[in-house]
Chain A
């Protein structure tokens, strides 16, 4: 690994000041499970590594029924799934947190880092998207917010300016009769990178059948994670059914823009997008009805 400097600011103000000065040559370190490997492979070559795990706002992790879930950008996956309340309220998020990598990875890797790494196949991102997560970003010009689906702009690229830092994510409290699920296809049982992934979110009317709200997101079938609004449009206002889910799955297949690479072919990925959307809609429905 090339020589680096290591800084560990203890406050957000310190971190912003540091990045204002060194941002162009710096890379933020949370769990390090992507960054340290990239440094070794020469894929990213910062002069300064900024360890943000000592900054309280990046390590916040709390839920309340009014404001929802506050998820600091550096909170590791294992902290998320070891919280029984969060497991109950956001099972779709837990699906991803317990799939990423391995136990060792999950003790370090964070949803924030997963977003900032910007992989099209990021497992953490589709659940954040369908659960309407909002990103809080801090920089020398102040703070800004934007929805998770706008964060990743291309493979390995995000909306962050070099001097900016992702502070935290906020997920709204889950409405009654709502549910979400994330599934992915990998050739082995664990540890792989998604060939295709899908997250679905459904909110039902009081009749427990009509879909009041829906969100569908895909991973690994386009240069960025996708929010498939055509699938949602096909679902909203209609009674949930297998046939309806197949319509949404078809919309997902059409929206997918996969490539053929070492993990899978274009046609297989497109097919999987449809399968996984259908299955996650079924899973979201069961969770929305409380019949999981």
Chain B
């Protein structure tokens, strides 16, 4: 029989408590137990980034974290990115730039990009592309995503104009 174990942690600013099996990943805890289906299962092996959450300030693949590992930790999911009903500049710019088609990769990209801007408020295009290398998109070809991220960086860092985007970000 599976041994259900108690787990409590801070999720998007609020304490949550639940029971889960030791084998449950954090992604399974979020989606299947807590009903927070914003984080997606794209690959289940740490390659695609669709499951990204922020754990103690660091973006991680929640498919590669056991639920029980986050006991007493702080987790932010895509559901916690907009605050007080207002979209984060990243979300706003993704809409403006049409940086999504099917949208499956988008929560992961938003979370990872949020972590990028918190670590480096004025990334270059190459910085952004390298940081986001762990997030895969099958629909867009990444160009509009990068434009949205750099435009959002301009907003959050108070710059007037965003960094210019070239093809592939390489010379």
Distance from A75 Cβ to chain B, minimum over Cβ atoms (Å): 13
Distance from A263 Cβ to chain B, minimum over Cβ atoms (Å): 15
Q: Which residues of A sit under 8 angstroms from B133, Cβ to Cβ?
A: 102-103, 189-191
B66–A102 touching, CB < 8 Å: no
Is A68's beta carbon under 8 Å from chain B? no
Q: Which of A3, A8, A49, A104 lies at the interface centre, i.e. has the most chain B CB atoms within 10 A of its CB?
A: A104
A6–B22 touching, CB < 8 Å: yes
Is B69's beta carbon under 8 Å from chain A? yes
0/1 string, A30-71, CB within 8 A of B gives 1: 011100110111000000010101000000000000000000
Q: Which residues of A contact B (CB under 8 A)?
A: 1-6, 8, 29, 31-33, 36-37, 39-41, 49, 51, 53, 78, 101-105, 107-108, 189-191
The 14 sampled A-B contact pairs (Cβ below 8 Å) are: A3-B2, A3-B22, A3-B23, A5-B3, A31-B64, A32-B64, A40-B44, A51-B68, A101-B46, A102-B134, A105-B61, A107-B55, A108-B60, A108-B64
A190 touches which of B2, B61, B130 (Cβ 8 Å)? B130
Q: Which of B42-61 contact A (CB under 8 A)?
A: 44-47, 49, 52, 55, 58-61
Distance from B163 Cβ to chain A, minimum over Cβ atoms (Å): 19
B64–A6 touching, CB < 8 Å: no
List the B residue with the shortest CB-CB distance to A7. Answer: B22
Q: Which residues of B sit under 8 angstroms from A4, Cβ to Cβ?
A: 22-23
B46–A103 touching, CB < 8 Å: no
A1–B23 touching, CB < 8 Å: yes
Q: Which residues of B sit under 8 angstroms from A39, Cβ to Cβ?
A: 23
B65 touches which of A5, A8, A78, A108 (Cβ 8 Å)? A108
Distance from A29 Cβ to chain B, minimum over Cβ atoms (Å): 7
Distance from A254 Cβ to chain B, minimum over Cβ atoms (Å): 35
List the A residue with the shortest CB-CB distance to B23. Answer: A1
Q: Which residues of B sit under 8 angstroms from A107, Cβ to Cβ?
A: 55, 58-60
A36→B44 CA distance, assembly (Å) = 10
Q: Which residues of A sit under 8 angstroms from B65, Cβ to Cβ?
A: 32, 36, 108
B2–A37 touching, CB < 8 Å: no
List the A residue with the shortest CB-CB distance to B115. Answer: A103
A32–B66 touching, CB < 8 Å: yes
Task: State the total of A-B contacts with C-beta under 8 angstroms.
Answer: 84
B22–A36 touching, CB < 8 Å: no
Q: Which residues of B sit under 8 angstroms from A104, Cβ to Cβ?
A: 46, 49, 52, 59-61, 112, 134
Q: Which of B2, B21, B64 lies at the interface centre, i.e. has the most chain A CB atoms within 10 A of its CB?
A: B64
Q: Which residues of A sit under 8 angstroms from B134, Cβ to Cβ?
A: 101-105, 190-191
Q: Which residues of A sit under 8 angstroms from B71, Cβ to Cβ?
A: 8
List the B residue with the shortest CB-CB distance to A36. Answer: B64
Q: For the A-B complex with A32-B69, A104-B112 known, give 13 more contacts whose Cβ atoms are closer than 8 Å.
A: A3-B3, A3-B21, A4-B23, A5-B22, A8-B68, A31-B64, A32-B66, A102-B133, A103-B112, A104-B61, A105-B134, A189-B133, A190-B133
Q: Which residues of A sit under 8 angstroms from B22, Cβ to Cβ?
A: 3-6, 49
B47–A36 touching, CB < 8 Å: no
A78→B52 CA distance, assembly (Å) = 16
A103→B133 CA distance, assembly (Å) = 8
Q: Which residues of A sit under 8 angstroms from B49, Cβ to Cβ?
A: 102, 104
Q: Which residues of A sit under 8 angstroms from B2, Cβ to Cβ?
A: 3
Q: Which residues of B sit under 8 angstroms from A6, Cβ to Cβ?
A: 5, 22, 66, 68
Q: Which of B38-96 contact A (CB under 8 A)?
A: 44-47, 49, 52, 55, 58-61, 63-66, 68-69, 71
Q: Which residues of A sit under 8 angstroms from B115, Cβ to Cβ?
A: 103
- Given the known interface contacts A102-B133, A103-B131, A108-B64, the answer about A33 and B23 at a Cβ–Cβ threshold of 8 Å is no
A41→B46 CA distance, assembly (Å) = 13
B46 touches which of A33, A51, A53 (Cβ 8 Å)? A33
Q: Which residues of A sit under 8 angstroms from B5, Cβ to Cβ?
A: 6
A23→B86 CA distance, assembly (Å) = 51
Is B25's beta carbon under 8 Å from chain A? yes
